[in-house]
A and B are shown apart, each in its own frame.
Chain A
Amino acid sequence: MNEWQKKSPLEWETYLNKLVKVAVIEKHECEGWVLTVDPVSASIVLATFPENESVSISVVLGHAVEEVEILKEGDDEMEQRLSCIFAPEESKAYSP
């Protein structure tokens, strides 16, 4: 188990809504805004905005994470934008 997988849910939560650079094994690298970290597999879900309207989601599997570096804190606007990415499904699923 790597250092990243050993972190606690409260530690993973501190990465939410931040722009990070993930060093992945075999010299890969992934950059994006942290949407979540799966507490079971330690996989990181990142969002990038290649064009203004579209969103690209990357999932780095927990076992492949070497290091996560925080590049930038997210402001309120970014936090709102990120929370909306999966929101339509949410409201559909839970509306009475």
Chain B
Amino acid sequence: RGRGFESRRRHPARGEAEAQRARARLRRRFLRALAAARGRPARFWLRAGVRVDATFGAADREAAALLVEALRTPLGLQEAALLRGPDVLCFRFPLP
């Protein structure tokens, strides 16, 4: 995927190296955030005004799917479920 990976036109080599460093710093922090979320109770806001509570599990590489546990639905408790990334607007979890 080319997202955020375009080369800089003016100073291709220097620009690309800087962009690569920035990309690595940002991604490293994001992966730490996901690691911190693991096993924590989280609230998910989905499309069409749906809001659900679950325990955060993991996300795949592009956050195209989120694995959750103990998902509380009107039909009962789902031990494990996948939320489709495009259906999720945001999620929130507390850190102690």
Contact = CB atoms under 8 A, between A and B. Distances in A.
B90 A41 contact: no
A26 B89 contact: yes
A61 interface: yes
B26 A13 contact: yes
Interface in A68-96: 85-86, 89-90
Interface residues of B toward A: which range? 35 or more
A7 B4 contact: yes
A5 B4 CA distance: 8
Contact of B89 (A5, A35, A39, A60): A60
Given A7-B4, A41-B62, A89-B35, A56 B93 contact: yes
Contacts of A45: 29-30, 33
A13 B22 contact: yes
B95 A55 contact: yes
Contacts of A89: 32, 35-36
Pairs A-B, 7 closest by C-beta atoms: A36-B29, A9-B22, A38-B30, A9-B23, A41-B63, A86-B32, A64-B89
30 contacts: A5-B3, A8-B4, A8-B19, A9-B26, A10-B18, A12-B22, A24-B89, A26-B48, A36-B26, A36-B33, A37-B30, A38-B26, A39-B4, A39-B30, A40-B61, A54-B94, A56-B94, A57-B36, A57-B92, A57-B94, A58-B90, A59-B37, A59-B91, A60-B90, A61-B85, A61-B90, A62-B63, A63-B86, A64-B90, A89-B35
